[in-house]
Amino acid sequence: MIELDRQDRLLLRTLMKDGRATLARLSEAVALSPTQCARRMARLEEAGLIAGYQALIDRQAAGFGVLALVQVSLERQGESHSQAFQQAVRDLPEVVECLLLTGDADYQLRVVERDLDSYAEFVTHRLMRLPGVAHIRSSIALREVKRECGLPL
């Protein structure tokens, strides 16, 4: 784990707000020269703290009107069952996030689909047929109240 000072945290907060910020803008925000700022960014990338850069796409503008949170329970526990399910989930582009859980369900999926009919088709013909799925429970998001991809540094 890398030790973060005030300027590292400020640099990361600035990048989380604007991943396309120029080096000049970043160096201004953290009160360092562009060279020092570039060195810090390289150190944070090498340490794995900055894992990559992505565009934040508005799902509704992209035509995905349905956001579902899906809890999945497997028929059996065990590494081979979990691995088979996880590999199958990785191949589903509609699943944008998959979390292994404690508690009642084994996994929680974040699923996007164009509309409710498409979602119903996805659940019945693809999700329920994944290896080891015993049952699922879906909740459809009515509205995204807050969406952050950063961390509270």
**Which residue's structure tokens are 């960014």?**
41
**Which residue's structure tokens are 């994944």?**
130
DSSP state letter for 124: I
State phi, psi for 55 to the nearest 5 degrees: -85, 140
131-140 pLDDT, tens per residue?
Answer: 999 999 999 9
- With cut-offs at 50, 70 and 90, classify the pLDDT of residue 80: confident
102-115 pLDDT, tens per residue?
Answer: 999 999 999 999 99
| Distance, CA of 25 to CA of 14 (rounded, Å) | 9
**Domains of the chain and CATH, by start:** 6-46 (1.10.10.10), 66-140 (3.30.70.920)
HSE-CB for 78 with a 13 A CA cutoff: 7
Say whether pLDDT at 78 is over 80: no
